[in-house]
């Protein structure tokens, strides 16, 4: 399908945000807002968000990718993923204002962009959000990182003959051994930091996940510690419970893919899985 791209400037709490709207010739009623993760802007790593947006638009889905306040070409002060609810709401407003035919919106986010999408739904209960496309969600804490490293790195190292030869030969630095011991202690006992007054963002994400009535697409990279950390956290933390049994969850594990799906095969697979998921939602709306 033919599509056009245009600049989308819109207001958020007195600041002007910069976005790019990919507009299909005949847009579907479901639109997409790309939530940027990490210290990124609307282009994404290796132009990932550009390529994704154009592919979705060619498939009939309007896509708005934008810069948070304080990032890229947007005005305002920089903020982290826990403080971008107003930015996301303004982006949804901008998409629907420019394409009134769009009635529902899916939030597509990678890493802490996925976390921000869940937090947005938790704190706003925005009825316009009917879908969440979450890639390698960020649940990082000192304890979860330690557990992930012990399980997926240090345990493998202990099974390697070359590690023991180096250790017995005095070629392993004492600092490395000390770090290993510290990680084990932290993974077992948890962080020594005092409890926060505000509920941790990981628990707010879990609450949002369980209460979300729309559809969820979960894409996990096979060669990514953030993805492994999420799976460990979701399977062991009480707040997440039986999260992976969400009745409207579709999950795909992309073996061999890194955190940002940087190779051509992984990028194409993400695009195709996203389009298939949107097509499925569109068909369900029509039935």
Retrieve residue 26's tokens. 């005949």
Under 8 Å between Cβ of 9 and 16: yes
What pLDDT was estimated at residue 284? 83
What pLDDT was estimated at residue 158? 59
DSSP annotation string for the chain: --EEEEEEEEEETTEEEEEEEEEESS--SEEEEEE--SS--TT-GGGHHHHHHHHHHHTT--EEEEPPTTSTT--S----GGG-HHHHHHHHHHHHHH-TT--EEEEEEETHHHHHHHHHHHHH--TTEEEEEEES-----HHHHHHHHIIIIIHHHHT-HHHHHHHHTT-S-HHHHHHHHHHHHHHHH---SPPPSSPPHHHHHHHHHHH--SEEEEEEETT-HHHHHHHHHHHH-TTTTTGGG-TTEEEEEETT--TT--SHHHHHHHHHHHHHHHHHHHHHHH-
Domain 3-140+200-286 has CATH 3.30.1490.190: no
Retrieve residue 17's tokens. 């945000």
Domain chopping of the chain, boundaries: 3-140+200-286, 143-189
What pLDDT was estimated at residue 246? 94
What pLDDT was estimated at residue 154? 53
Q: Is 229 exposed, middle or buried (0-12, 13-18, 19+ CB in 10 A)?
A: buried
Each residue's pLDDT expressed in tens, for the chain with a length of 287 residues: 999 999 999 999 999 999 999 999 999 999 999 999 888 899 999 999 999 999 999 999 999 999 999 999 999 999 999 999 999 999 999 999 999 999 999 999 999 999 999 999 999 999 999 999 999 999 996 654 555 555 555 556 556 667 556 656 666 565 554 554 554 555 455 544 444 467 999 999 999 999 999 999 999 999 999 999 999 999 889 899 899 999 999 999 999 999 999 999 999 999 999 999 999 988 887 76
What pLDDT was estimated at residue 176? 53
What pLDDT was estimated at residue 183? 42
Task: Kindly report whether the global pTM for this prediction surpasses the value 0.85.
Answer: no
What pLDDT was estimated at residue 236? 87
């Amino acid at each position: 399908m033919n599509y056009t791209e245009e600049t989308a400037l819109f207001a958020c709490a007195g600041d002007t945000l910069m976005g790019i709207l990919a507009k299909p010739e005949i847009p579907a009623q479901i639109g997409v807002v790309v939530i940027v993760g990490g210290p990124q802007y609307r282009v994404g790593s290796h132009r990932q968000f550009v390529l994704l947006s154009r592919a979705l638009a060619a498939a009939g889905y309007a896509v708005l990718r934008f810069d948070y306040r304080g990032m890229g070409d947007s005005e305002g002060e920089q903020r982290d993923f826990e403080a971008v609810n107003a930015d996301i709401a303004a982006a949804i407003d901008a998409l629907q204002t420019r394409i009134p035919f769009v009635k529902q919106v899916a939030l597509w986010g990678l890493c802490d962009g996925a976390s921000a999408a869940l937090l947005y739904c938790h704190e706003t209960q925005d009825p316009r959000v009917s879908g969440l496309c979450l890639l390698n969600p960020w649940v990082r804490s000192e304890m979860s990182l330690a557990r992930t490293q012990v399980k997926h790195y240090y345990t493998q190292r202990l099974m390697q003959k070359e590690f023991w030869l180096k250790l017995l030969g005095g070629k392993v630095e004492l600092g490395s051994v000390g770090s290993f011991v510290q990680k084990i202690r932290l993974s077992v006992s948890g962080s020594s930091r005092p409890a926060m007054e505000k509920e941790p963002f990981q628990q707010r994400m879990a609450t949002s996940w369980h209460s979300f009535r729309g559809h969820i697409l979960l894409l996990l990279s096979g060669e990514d510690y953030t993805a492994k950390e999420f799976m460990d956290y979701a399977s062991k933390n009480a707040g997440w419970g039986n999260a992976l049994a969400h009745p409207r969850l579709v999950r795909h594990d992309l073996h061999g893919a890194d955190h940002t799906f940087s190779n051509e095969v992984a990028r194409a697979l993400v695009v195709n899985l996203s389009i298939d998921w949107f097509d499925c939602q569109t068909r369900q709306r029509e039935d």
